[in-house]
Amino acid sequence: MTAPLTLSARNLCRRYGQRDVVQNVSLELGRGEVLGLLGHNGAGKSTTLQMLTGTLTPHSGKVEICGFNLQQQPDQAKACIGYLPETPPLYREMRVDDYLIFAAKLHRVPKSLLPGALDETKQRCGLQKSGRKIIGTLSKGYQQRVGIAQAIIHRPQVIVLDEPTVGLDPAQIREIRSLIRELGDAHSVILSTHLLSEVENVCDRVEIMQKGRLIYGDSSARMQQYGYQPGFVVTLLAPPPLDELQGIAGVENVEALSGTRFRIMHAMEANTSAVLLALAAERGWQAQQLTPLKGSIEDVYTQITENEPA
């Protein structure tokens, strides 16, 4: 069953002077989904997120948040959105609790619900012990947590995060990614990133943006299989001639890496490795090691973007 849509954008365009920075971008976000907007710096990701959240008006196109037209019903639509810009909107001289209460009031959280919203948000973001601390004294990772907290304190259905892990150290990145994944269980999340590992570790689905256009969209699992050619590297201490390896059922290409190591590419459904090992035992090829080939998400991304015409 398809999850109900919480965000829908159609044909968004934005120009700066005579330059089109976003061109006919259309995307959808389902409830409980984490969508990654992937692309190099300057691809148009931040401009797109600004249009999705109503902080920048598109020159054409429309956005609906939870069924509300963002241009025609901005108050209702924006009440459903939580937004963390690339530079978190923090008042560094304020205490964490005071700032989050301030953010909740801006989002019109009723006064009677403020204590509960504050406690719940700090618990979700790991800020239980930071309430009385001055924001400017916190580490970059904890400041990012405060930025996410201000985006979710009013319990929005859609959370938009722009480069949420930029500038963090590896430990902080792991913590923020874990938090984003948890948010995706109860909200719809869209995040922009130029980090391929972010897509692999956090996102259910990915849209790739290049030069202001969306050029690819699919689940992150299927993206990693894009253009995938199955194969393996095998060591044979007493190898046969190459044409004998080439004649094994399902083999499409054989490359000798050395006198005893061979890269063998085969058809998608063929159980070629098992066939080869059986033949090796039968014919005395002395198979020593067989390692399946794994395509990296970096290779996939490069292939997708390079295949796109300029």
Strand partners, 207: 37, 217
pLDDT digits (tens, 9 = 90+) for 30-61: 998 999 999 888 899 999 999 999 999 999 99
Q: Among residues of the chain, what percentage have pLDDT more than 90?
A: 65
3-class DSSP state of 144: helix
Shared fold status for 1-80+156-228+296-310 and 231-294: no
Q: How far apart are CA 205 and CA 126, in angstroms?
A: 26
Domain 231-294, architecture per CATH: 2-Layer Sandwich (3.30)
- DSSP 3-state of 297: helix
Tens-place pLDDT, residues 121-139 = 999 999 999 999 999 999 9
Q: pTM value?
A: 0.78
Rounded average pLDDT over 194-198: 82
pLDDT of res. 1:
43
Strand partners, 216: 208
Tokens describing residue 147: 């930025």
- With a cut of 80, say whether residue 203 has pLDDT above it: yes
DSSP symbols for 168-235:
--HHHHHHHHHHHHHHHHHSEEEEEES-HHHHHHH-SEEEEEETTEEEEEEEHHHHTTTT---EEEEE
DSSP at 137: G
Nearby residues of 269 by Cβ (< 8 Å), 6 or more positions away: 250
Assigned CATH topology for domain 1-80+156-228+296-310: Rossmann fold (3.40.50)
Domain boundaries, the chain: 1-80+156-228+296-310, 89-154, 231-294
